Amino acid sequence: MSDAAIDEVCLVALAEAFRGDGELLCHPMGPFPVAAGRLARASFEPDLMLTDTIAYAVAGTLPLGATVTRPGAADEGVVVEGYLPFRAVFDQAWSGRRHVVMGASQIDRHGNQNFAAIGDYRKPKAQLLGLRGAPGNVINHTTSYWIPDQARTFCERVDVVSGPGHDRVAALPEPSGRFHEIRRVVTELAAYDFETSDCTMRLRSVHPGVSLDDVLAATPFELAVPDEVPASRLPTDEELRLIRDVIDPKGIRKHEFR
Amino acid sequence: MPDKRMTEDEVVAELSSGMTIGIGGWGSRRKPMSLVRAMLRSDLTDLHVVSYGGPDVGLLCAAGRVRRITYGFVSLDSIPLEPHFRIARQTGSVEAREFDEGAFYLGLLAAAHRVPFYPTRAGLGSDMLTYNPDLKTVTSPYGDGTELVAVPAFDIDVSLVHMNRADAAGNGQFLGPDLYFDDLFAMAAERTFMSCERVVATGDLLEEGSVHTLKIPRLHVDGVVEAPGGAHFTECPPDYGRDEAFQREYAATARDPDAWARFRAGWLDLPSHDAYRARLADRAGSAGAGHASGESSTCRARLADRAESARADR
């Protein structure tokens, strides 16, 4: 247990974002978040529904990188339990039975997220991914963020709002924003939530081996810090086995750590 | 049933500069690339492209044919941002009309259903509204006070889609994992032209897939182009996967004008899809592996003859 690497601690911290979700579509974007979703279902949140990242909901735990090629062929013991092409994914998003994990190029203390563009949107200095599905996801259901480079991503003010934060949503007429929930932000240093009176970012736990000073040095905005900050929990032996032997035997998760 | 078979160049002859063109597929997946390449052979310009964009948008931007893009994203999937689209955005050479991916679906749906808009929460609080100043919101008329984005109908002049199979009348079949929104592109447009990997007899449509794969009824299709390999280099499962090596080569042309000129000369300045396929076969041969090019070009020539005599008959 003591030999958990930082990527494994982060994976567990991100998996913890799904705790209590029960039966909904767990829909993380990108290899690291996908591993976290699969870990959550395989260990403590067994009723989650997960896809192969293409169009099929699968029962059982797929390793990172594997997808269903022929549904019904039952190759590698993969059981298809549902069909979720993009149109069905949007329908699920709007139904609210979904929790996504997205990345961010910028995020502020209200949870405003940008992965659309840097500079003036109309003629950006750097075009990034674009708004993608962030506006619709964030306003319709639970969202968490995985940020592997906190110092570069946390900022005072984002250039473009892809996923709206609490201040933007609070400004909408009631009850337009009632399904908005930013559950968790997990970085390579710590985990955060927005459980403060003004819904600004709060330090939730600090990863083992990271100091509070490290966290604050990588945070350019005012952060709510409780008197007692717990350490992020370590993976259990079973979680380490799942991560290393089942979900990510190739170590793809480590590519996120520079 | 009507016989709607035609060639890529005959499709492009139906288009004109300034039109709004919808392009089906998703990112670098099942794009009607032989039709896009035929557009690049023409002098079409000043286009408004509506797309879940991939190399279709990138190529048309790189060739200077685009005035405006309505899009949910523009991506090559394995390369997250389309590199030619990146340049178009960063140089401000195209007008961007960007929608949340799901809101984009509703713009197609509204056009397909002939209503002026569909309401959604998607976009509220985000900068989708800030940078699309013509986008309006509506308040629920039922007294609950909910404000919603009114996604306007995407009025499309002509849509282009690529299917795995179709019959000569334009009943389209997808055999891969996802239809994407191609049926809505067809319904949203004034006219739709469908390319496909293979034209089959209507009675044979169910040989490779269940009735659930017959997703585009001929009611919304004006022309059918048999284009084996027509989605190359995007993926078209189960017929073929994405040609990642080719896509990397294409992506690299965005960083180097000489590479773009070579790519253009090698892969775009060709007289036909048959010539493109022949060149691909040479490439596969010289690489000693990779892309199977399928049937010979004589099959296509025969088809073109047939289509021509069918038209002469009418």
Cβ separation B126–A138 shorter than 8 A: yes
The answer to whether position A105 is within a domain reads yes
Maximum alpha-carbon separation in chain A: 55
Is B177 in CB contact (< 8 Å) with chain A?
yes
Q: Among all residues of chain A, which has the CA nearest to that of B237?
A: A69
Among A68, A80, A84, A86, the residue to mutate for chain B (most B Cβ within 10 A): A86
Number of domains, chain A: 1
3-state secondary structure string across B65-87: CEEEEEEEEECCCCCCCCHHHHH
Cβ separation A123–B91 shorter than 8 A: yes
CATH number at residue A62: 3.40.1080.10
Is B257 in CB contact (< 8 Å) with chain A?
no
pLDDT tens sequence for chain B (314 residues): 999 999 999 999 999 999 999 999 999 999 999 999 999 999 999 999 999 999 999 999 999 999 999 999 999 999 999 999 999 999 999 999 999 999 999 999 999 999 999 999 999 999 999 999 999 999 999 999 999 999 999 999 999 999 999 999 999 999 999 999 999 999 999 999 999 999 999 999 999 999 999 999 999 999 999 999 999 999 999 999 999 999 999 999 999 999 999 999 999 999 999 999 999 999 988 875 444 444 333 334 444 444 444 444 43
Q: Please give, rounded to a whole number of angstroms, the shortest distance from the CA of B147 to a CA of chain A.
A: 6
The answer to whether position A42 is within a domain reads yes
Say which of A125, A168, A175 has its CB closest to residue B145.
A175
3-state secondary structure string across chain A: CCCCCHHHHHHHHHHHHHCCCCCCEEEECCHHHHHHHHHHHHHCCCCCECECCCCEEEECCCCCCCCCCCCCCCHHHCEEEEECCHHHHHHHHHHCCEEEEECCCEECCCCCEECCEECCCCCCCEECCCCCCHHHHHHHCEEEEEECCHHHHECCCCCCCCECCHHHHHCCCCCCCCCCEEEEEEECCEEEECCCCCCCCEEEEECCCCCHHHHHHCCCCCCECCCCCCECCCCCHHHHHHHHHHHCCCCHHHHHCC
Per-residue confidence (pLDDT) for residue A61, from 0 to 100: 93
Among A131, A179, A182, the residue to mutate for chain B (most B Cβ within 10 A): A131
The answer to whether position A121 is within a domain reads yes
Q: B26 contacts in A (CB within 8 Å)?
A: 86
Q: Please give, rounded to a whole number of angstroms, the shortest distance from the CA of A29 to a CA of chain B.
A: 12
Per-residue confidence (pLDDT) for residue B281, from 0 to 100: 95
Considering only residues 82 to 141 of chain A, which have any Cβ-Cβ distance to chain B shorter than 8 Å? 85-87, 90, 93-94, 116-117, 121-136, 138-140
Q: What is the DSSP letter of B26?
A: B
DSSP-derived 3-state class of residue B184: helix
Is B281 in CB contact (< 8 Å) with chain A?
no
The answer to whether position A1 is within a domain reads no
Residues (pLDDT < 70) of chain A are 1-2, 72-77, 258
Considering only residues 141 to 170 of chain A, which have any Cβ-Cβ distance to chain B shorter than 8 Å? 160-164, 168-169
Is B141 in CB contact (< 8 Å) with chain A?
no
- Reported as type and span, the H/E element at residue B197 is strand B189-199
Angle CA(B84)–CA(B187)–CA(B309) in degrees, nearest 5?
90
Range of A47's domain? 6-256
Residue B269 to residue A8: CA distance in whole angstroms = 51
Per-residue confidence (pLDDT) for residue B295, from 0 to 100: 38
Q: A172 contacts in B (CB within 8 Å)?
A: 124-125, 147
Task: For chain B, report the end-to-end CA distance as a whole number of angstroms.
Answer: 13
Q: What are chain B's domains?
A: 8-115+153-271 (3.40.1080.10), 116-152 (no CATH)
Per-residue confidence (pLDDT) for residue B301, from 0 to 100: 44
Q: Please give, rounded to a whole number of angstroms, the shortest distance from the CA of B243 to a CA of chain A.
A: 17
Cβ separation A129–B86 shorter than 8 A: no
